[in-house]
Structure 1
Amino acid sequence: MRKIKKLMFTPLILGALFVAALGIQPASFILWYQPKPPAR
């Protein structure tokens, strides 16, 4: 029973980490590489 739960749970964790990485990378890319807004 525990092995089955683990088999079901591991892909969920990997999927969540993958989605989190996809979500974090563009955000950090924008934060680091965006030109500084002109001061008005």
Structure 2
Amino acid sequence: DKTVYAVAGSHTQTILKLARENHVPIDFCCGDGECGTCLV
């Protein structure tokens, strides 16, 4: 199990990018966090 924290107000990374960088399994379709498939 992993916990991923994002700094409040940070708009530099998408949830998808953070999840992928930290090896958190997450569903995605577009690969850049724009389509909403990875929405948590």
Q: Greater CA radius of gyration, 1 or 2?
A: 1
- State TM-score, norm by structure 1: 0.19
Q: Where is the helix percentage greater, Structure 1 or Structure 2?
A: 1
Give the TM-score of the pair, scaled to structure 2. 0.19
